[in-house]
């Protein structure tokens, strides 16, 4: 037997076309079908950090076209008014939790940045608790909504690396934003630099290792191509956060706001209704009552709601929640 020579296995076809922003230079074979989008996108695991990478990554023009007015909802808000009122309760709860995490200090105002601040509901709740608030939004339309609501100057587009002085923030929120970013690792490193030592990062993402992701596969609501450029599970997220300078504290697997709806919309998608049509209706983009098929979706969703809540509780108990939120601290 001849001595083994060091060899370099050639990458599988197509495996190295898209590098991962973690610095990994190789992607494994497609791990996840994306159903309707399967012919256009694959999700490949980064062999270094373990996240799934949408491959190919849409270019800037394709993303700009995708983030159209239908994505953000028409008119003055993203979702129909009764839904926005309900969402504000969740945003208020998040503000209350963050407020409790960062102690007040005499003579000093606590500072928070909400990246991807949407309509500004969370920032409004933080301002009401006495925080100095900063926000950014990809979309000028949504930034205007947030500015109207909060009276703040909302940054539009990607924040510059020197947008905040080092150590000048007490908290940063990235609520269902990280998976949308072209370079989430760079954004996290910037956040770590802007935060004071011990500063809090509140972050939520879909969990690609959840029960609902595994059960519904390509029909899973939170896959959301081409908007979600990356998919994390608790392990790859923890690694990504650690590499950026954070220590992960609590990981929560239950979200009443996100997880039961993930089951419901995934179920509708799997039943063959047009993908995410009910979700679009909730944004007011078309009437849910407009056709018998749309009415049927609303009825199925209403009937399945108790089961979806039960599912979400069970998957959370098994540490496999459809979305996860993480509290991390800057080292």
**For binding to Zn ion (CB under 5 A), which residues are involved?**
20, 22, 24, 46, 48-49
The whole-angstrom separation of Cα 23 and Cα 97 is 34
The whole-angstrom separation of Cα 44 and Cα 63 is 19
Token pair in block for residue 320 = 């496999």
Token pair in block for residue 190 = 């910037």
Q: In terms of CB distance, is 56 or 92 closer to Zn ion?
A: 56
Q: In terms of CB distance, is 45 or 262 closer to Zn ion?
A: 45
User: Residue 46 Cβ, how far from Zn ion at the closest point, in Å?
Assistant: 3
User: Residue 92 Cβ, how far from Zn ion at the closest point, in Å?
Assistant: 35
User: Residue 133 Cβ, how far from Zn ion at the closest point, in Å?
Assistant: 32
Radius of gyration of the chain (CA): 20
Q: In terms of CB distance, is 228 or 283 closer to Zn ion?
A: 228
User: Residue 221 Cβ, how far from Zn ion at the closest point, in Å?
Assistant: 24
Report the Cα 208 to chain-centroid distance in Å: 12
Q: In terms of CB distance, is 236 or 265 closer to Zn ion?
A: 236
Q: In terms of CB distance, is 20 or 205 closer to Zn ion?
A: 20
The continuous run of DSSP H or E covering 85 comes out as helix 81-101
The whole-angstrom separation of Cα 81 and Cα 88 is 10
The whole-angstrom separation of Cα 238 and Cα 251 is 10
User: Residue 19 Cβ, how far from Zn ion at the closest point, in Å?
Assistant: 8
Q: In terms of CB distance, is 22 or 181 closer to Zn ion?
A: 22
What's the full length of the chain, in residues?
A: 331
The whole-angstrom separation of Cα 137 and Cα 321 is 27
The whole-angstrom separation of Cα 246 and Cα 243 is 7
User: Residue 242 Cβ, how far from Zn ion at the closest point, in Å?
Assistant: 13
């Amino acid at each position: 037997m001849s001595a083994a020579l060091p060899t370099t296995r050639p990458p599988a076809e197509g495996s190295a076309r898209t590098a991962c922003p973690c610095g990994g230079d190789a992607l494994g074979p497609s791990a996840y079908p994306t159903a309707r989008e399967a012919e256009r996108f694959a999700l490949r695991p980064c062999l270094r950090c373990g996240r799934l990478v949408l491959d190919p990554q849409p270019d800037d023009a394709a993303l700009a076209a995708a983030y159209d007015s239908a994505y953000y909802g028409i008119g003055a808000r993203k979702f129909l008014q009764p839904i926005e009122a309900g969402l504000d309760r969740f945003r208020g709860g998040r503000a209350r939790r963050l407020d409790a995490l960062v102690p007040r200090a005499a003579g000093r105002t606590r500072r928070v940045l909400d990246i991807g601040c949407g309509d500004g509901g969370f920032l409004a709740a933080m301002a009401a608790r006495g925080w100095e608030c900063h926000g950014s939004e990809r979309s000028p339309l949504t930034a205007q909504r947030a500015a109207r609501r909060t009276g703040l100057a909302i940054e539009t587009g990607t924040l510059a690396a020197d947008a905040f002085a080092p150590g000048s923030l007490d908290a940063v929120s990235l609520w269902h934003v990280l998976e949308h970013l072209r370079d989430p690792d760079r954004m996290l490193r910037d956040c770590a630099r802007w935060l004071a030592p011990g500063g809090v990062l509140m972050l939520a993402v879909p969990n690609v290792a959840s029960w609902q992701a595994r059960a519904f596969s390509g029909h899973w609501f939170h896959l959301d191509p081409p908007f979600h450029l990356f998919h994390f599970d608790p392990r790859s997220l923890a690694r990504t956060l650690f590499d950026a300078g954070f220590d992960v504290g609590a990981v929560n697997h239950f979200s009443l706001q996100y997880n039961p709806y993930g089951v419901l919309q995934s179920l509708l998608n799997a039943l063959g209704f047009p993908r995410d049509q009910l979700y679009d209706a909730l944004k007011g983009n078309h009437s849910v009552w407009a056709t018998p098929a749309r009415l049927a979706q609303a009825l199925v969703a209403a009937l399945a709601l108790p089961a979806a809540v039960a599912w979400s509780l069970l998957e959370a108990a098994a540490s496999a929640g459809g979305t996860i939120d993480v509290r991390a601290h800057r080292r």
